[in-house]
Amino acid sequence: MYRFISLFIENILSGMKGRSRAEAALLLEEPDILPIGSFGITPPITAKIIGRIPYYRNTPLCWDAIAEGKVDYVNRRIAEDQLDLYRKLKFEWIRVYPNAYTRSTKVEKVGENIWRVNGALRRWVPQTNMDWPLERGKPRSDEEVIASIEARIKYGPKPEEIVDESIDDSYLYPVKLLKKELGDQALIFGGASGTIGGEDVDLLRWLYKYPDFIKRYLRYRTDIAIESAKRQIEAGADGIVNGADYAYKNGPFMSPKIFKEIILPELRREVHAFKRMGALVVLHSDGNIKPLLEYIIESGVDGVQSLDPQAGIDIGEIKELYGDKICLVGNICLRTLNIGSLEDVARETLECIRKASPGGGHILTTANVVDVGVKFENFMKMIEVARKYGRYRI
């Protein structure tokens, strides 16, 4: 099946180069063919496409090798896996970040699916291909935590020094390789963000309790994000994915008023800094972000990714309201790819194209990372339908 689809795609793609297609979509122009993008693909799917077990997004394989001191080898394999994957899929928009390690990374295997990574115990969960911390620090009051963060901001390492520790040339190798080898075939995106979302539970509380502190902390985090993006752009990234999970299925984690007053100023500063460095910017957030979309657009981002269908977002409604202001990057439902039939996938993909693609300003992606539950046949059907029907004028 894959061989047939690969030949089918080869015959269809002509005219504009892939990079130009994705760039046109992000600039709200109409390309010749609807670009397809990737927010990330899980190892079982990647393995079937490239014909080997990948290091890309394969946490236990990477950690075991790093425990043996093979950081450069791991990053080289991560890069080669992605290169082979996207050469075969011929996707036009690729998020490389965050899938590499620095040479300072320290890993020790402790037990089954448990490693100590840079001093912290973490458990990898095969059912989700995600890892989680196993240890909690001693409980501290809000005031103690805030005092320690304030001290770090005032007396700790500067943003450039922090990024020196978190990004080195080995970490940047995947960006460099994909940029060098794919050239005009795809837009290569890194990632950096100073904003906060649903994963930052304490910070969400403090938005209301200590707003002045949060403003200072966001400024500090944004400075770090800008420096991180600078390194990735210098290494060859065409753009940056930023943002956080601002919402869950029923709506945002913070009120639109708080978002506008506290989150938006630093988000806007971050986006404008990325653009001054020549990058395009796509914001990612799961959940129902509809109440925040006008402010997200106001920040200056070129595109918004996910447009979470499991949170009730209708991409056609968003296209009608904001399609002349922002590129829509999405939004095939992972639930459909997990449990749907081939007919379900074809129907949803075609509906997404018909709603979001007319006039340009659309990159078709899954709503989030292609997870371990996605059926290979369903994933390939999505691509087949997109290539068959995603030809302008749609």
pLDDT (tens digit, 9 = 90+) per residue, 110-148? 999 999 999 999 999 999 999 999 987 788 999 999 999
Per-residue pLDDT tens digits for 156-181: 999 999 999 999 999 999 999 999 99
* Domain spans in the chain, listed from the N-terminal domain onward: 2-51+89-98+147-389
Q: What are phi and psi of 388, to 5 degrees?
A: -75, -40
- As to burial, measured by CB atoms within 10 angstroms (0-12 exposed, 13-18 middle, 19+ buried), residue 212 is exposed
What is the rounded CA–CA span in Å between residue 210 and residue 212?
Answer: 6
Structure tokens at 54: 């990948």
Q: How, if at all, do strands 93-95 and 120-125 pair?
A: unpaired
Distance CA 104, CA 102 (A): 5
Confidence of residue 5 (pLDDT cuts 50, 70, 90): low
Question: Has residue 47 got a pLDDT over 60?
Answer: yes
Q: What is the dihedral of CA 45, 51, 54, 58, to 10 degrees?
A: 30
Integer Cα distance of 88 and 17 in angstroms: 15
pLDDT score, position 393: 86
Q: How many residues does the chain have?
A: 394
Task: For residue 17, give the 3-state DSSP assignment.
Answer: coil
Query: Residue 11: its pLDDT value, please?
Result: 44
**Averaged over 197-215, what is the pLDDT?**
93
Map residue 3 onto helix, strand or coil. helix
CB-count burial class (<10 Å; 0-12, 13-18, 19+) for 67: middle
Among residues 31, 19, 10, 11, the alpha carbon closest in space to that of 391 is found at 31
- Determine whether 154 is exposed, middle or buried from the number of CB atoms within 10 Å of its CB (0-12, 13-18, 19+): exposed
The alpha-helical segments, DSSP class H, found in 103-182 are: 142-155, 159-166, 173-182
* CATH label, 2-51+89-98+147-389, candidates 3.40.640.10, 3.90.226.10, 3.20.20.210, 3.40.50.300: 3.20.20.210
178: Cβ–Cβ under 8 A, 6 or more apart, which residues?
A: 79, 82, 83, 86, 94, 96, 186, 188, 236
pLDDT above 90 covers what percent of the chain? 92
pLDDT at position 14:
57
Tell the residue number behind the tokens 């997004």, with chain if given. Answer: 57
Q: Which of 196, 218, 202 is nearest to 144 (CA)?
A: 202
Residues 96, 97, 98: CA angle, nearest 5 degrees: 135
Reported as a single tens digit per residue, the pLDDT across 345-369 is 999 999 999 999 999 999 999 999 9
Mean pLDDT over each residue of the chain, to the nearest integer: 95
Decide if pLDDT at 13 tops 90: no
Q: Examine the pLDDT at 9 and tell me if it is beyond 60.
A: no
In the numeric block, which tokens belong to residue 329? Answer: 């990057």
Under a CB-based contact definition with an 8 Å cutoff, are residues 352 and 315 in contact? yes
pLDDT tens column, 282-315: 999 999 999 999 999 999 999 999 999 999 999 9
